[in-house]
Copies of this chain bind each other. A is one copy, B any other.
Amino acid sequence: MQRLVLTLLVAYCTLTGSVRAQDPLPSWNDGKSKQSIVAFVAKVTKAGSPDFVPPAERIATFDNDGTLWAEQPIYTQFAFAFDRVKALAPKHPEWKDQEPFAALLKGDMKGALAGGEKALFEVLIATHAGTTTEEFAGIVKDWLATARHPVTKRPYTEMVYQPMLELLAYLRANGFKTFIVSGGGIEFMRPWAETVYGIPPEQVIGSSIKTKFELRDGRPVLVRLPELNFLDDKAGKPVGIQQHIGRRPIAAFGNSDGDLEMLQWTAAGAGPRFCLFVHHTDEAREWAYDRTSHIGKLDKGLDEAAAKGWTVVDMKQEWKGIYPPAK
């Protein structure tokens, strides 16, 4: 009997040891970025060390487009909006003669985008407002269930970066609370962020339009209005972080100049801080773009990262894989 107990004890300890020794970031090559991540996490979680950070303050914020999932050849939310224009066209006969809708309906993307930001904003408002919040969540879910990425033909929710999924899980396993802080629409991300990233709706921060509380036949609804509420990009990101979290992150992850202010805000806090840019360098497995790209431009950010010693991930060199295996 004593021998059995001993054997079980040894077996248990061996098992525990092997679980502990497992690599929490298997899709990351053992390069500079992985080492800097692991060193930071070890530092802030070591009880009694001067760099120890209590779990409640272990806030990590992640950009979404280009940081957690692909953003090429166009932002996924734009693909959604363009598909919605087609779906809504029967209810809007006037769109046939009205730009940018007319061009979009003819499949003329270049013509549609000729109107610049103003035209794009019109499309976003026309396709994102007018429903209740619950209806909109349903529309997003339905679209994601059938829409496919134009290049890979995979569902958009599989165009996420496997190394970043591992990073999210690794941080949470070490007591971090992970947040999305994206220029994308807050209600466009919430319906799927929990399933795909393990991030609950209350930890998703993004751009928004105004909503209005109404009683419809005695039943309360929130109606989405055709008016911008908040733009969660560039200098808006620290504002969104303060508004939603009320506490400065100790780690921030982005991929473009739109994330620079979030990283500056994070870096400027007292105590240990971690800032990271994902650098899109992989023209074969993903896309290669930075200083001159229209989408996900990373220019000032690269310079500031170099000057301040922030971590810059070379996707081509440092990631063993890009996307998770197909489901």
> Measuring CB to CB, which residues of chain A are less than 8 angstroms from any residue of chain B?
56, 59, 133, 177, 186-187, 190, 194, 200-204, 208, 211-213, 215, 219-220, 222, 229, 235-236, 238-239, 242-247, 261, 264-265, 268
Contacts and interface: CB of A to CB of B under 8 A. Distances in A.
A116 B273 CA distance: 47
Nearest to A137: B246
6 contacts: A177-B202, A186-B246, A190-B246, A202-B245, A204-B246, A220-B264
Copy number in this complex? 2
Contacts of A243: 186, 208, 211, 229
Going nearest first, the 8 A-B pairs with the smallest beta carbon separation are A201-B246, A213-B235, A202-B245, A190-B246, A213-B238, A220-B264, A201-B247, A220-B268
A177 to B, nearest CB: 8
A268 to B, nearest CB: 5
B246 A187 contact: yes
A202 B60 CA distance: 13
Given A247-B202, A268-B220, A211 B239 contact: yes
A190 B220 CA distance: 29
Given A186-B243, A212-B239, A213-B238, 7 more contacts: A186-B246, A201-B246, A202-B244, A211-B243, A212-B235, A220-B265, A244-B244
Contacts of A219: 268
A177 B201 CA distance: 13
A113 to B, nearest CB: 29
Contacts of A245: 201-202
Nearest to A238: B213
Contacts of A264: 215, 220
A133 B244 CA distance: 13
A90 B222 CA distance: 46
Residue in A59, A200, A229 with the greatest tally of chain B CB atoms within 10 Å: A200
Contacts of A194: 56
Given A200-B56, A220-B264, A213 B239 contact: yes
A35 B219 CA distance: 28
Contacts of A190: 246
A229 B243 CA distance: 10
A190 B247 CA distance: 9
Contacts of A133: 242
